[in-house]
Structure 1
């Protein structure tokens, strides 16, 4: 199993990053909360991974630390929650925010995430609260709010950035019209793709 990759970032197309390790390019799907913290193109990154094998595909999911990966692994054990939904959940809120929502039984907060209905939210609360009891209590206590890297001076034109942001939200489970509305409503002049996605996801909650 591939559990960790260290390599140079060749491409960043949210929520996918292409990481070159020893001449091999690995496509890694990452939650946006992790994607925001990646270094710039051409720089080295270390990603903790989870390898998922399906009948029609073999996929790598990546995280900035082992705690985030541990939460992802617990999420996909929940009935009705697959890797795609788990990725969407961890893109919409940080690991600490999710843990807090579950512990406080905030169904209303969880159903704002794409693909999470009331039944799924209730199931997440019931099953994940039990799972948290078996995990280290302070596992996510050191989590911090998302800090975005400074916007590059070579940021793409606003129209391209908005189109890429909409595409990323659709990949995370939002309907095209909803994704477009969220991006347009929260777009700021000069914002890059990652900023647009962050603001749209925050607004959705």
Structure 2
């Protein structure tokens, strides 16, 4: 079992980073790959080693608290590792825990990959199991827990709303995202998904 990795980021994509640990590159899937690329020198990534019949995958996080929350999420029936990553990418850990404890289905269903039934299952399974995660909700304050805004029924707007929250979780500002959205609107299709918009937005952000 790999508990953590320490090394330098050798490569990154929209869903993972490659960490060079003494000449060995480890591919690590993470909700915030760009967070690690902003760090200088060696980084520490706390990992979950996921084994299935056709693959062995590493999922990595910037803190043990986030790792614990990820492990709670994948214990819920119907929530796999990739869905759990999307959930953590779309919300701050403190806000997610508070949403679950306050049974806020509306907040949860705005997160990537989470429908109403899955949100209700997450609440049922985890509501009383998150106190020992280690997050300081008292210090965080209620300001962290703000419902995602209600958006128009238009599919494009709804998808961008989801994508925007995920991008904000990566550290991008409202001004940067407004500028990117202005440039993307002409290239957005009616059936565009939030994941697709995230990729397009990141490409535009990297180009400046």
TM-score, normalisation: structure 1: 0.69
The 5-angstrom pairing of residues 148-159 of structure 1 reads 148=171
Question: 1:27 matched to which residue of 2?
Answer: 27
Q: How does 1:26-175 map to 2 (within 5 A)?
A: 26-32=26-32, 35-40=33-38, 43-133=41-131, 135=132, 139-141=135-137, 146=169, 148=171
TM-superposed deviation, 1:40: 4.0
Report the RMSD for the aligned CA atoms in angstroms: 3.4
What secondary structure, in the 3-state scheme, does the structure 2 residue paired with 1:130 have? Answer: coil
User: Alpha carbons of 1:36 and 1:104: their partners in 2 closer, same or farther (altered >3 Å)?
Assistant: farther
Pairwise CA distance, 1:192: 2.6
1:76 to 1:24, Cα distance in 2 relative to 1, 3 A: same
Question: In structure 1, how many angstroms separate the alpha carbons of the residues matched to 2:14 and 2:58?
Answer: 14
Deviation per residue, 1:136-194 (Å, 9 max, x gap): 5x5243668957389xxxxxxx9xxx8xxx9xxxxxxxxx722377459x959x6238x
TM-score (norm 2): 0.68
Richer in helix (by share): 2
5+ long unaligned stretches in structure 1: 151-157, 167-175, 196-205
Contiguous gaps of at least 5 residues in structure 2: 145-167, 174-179
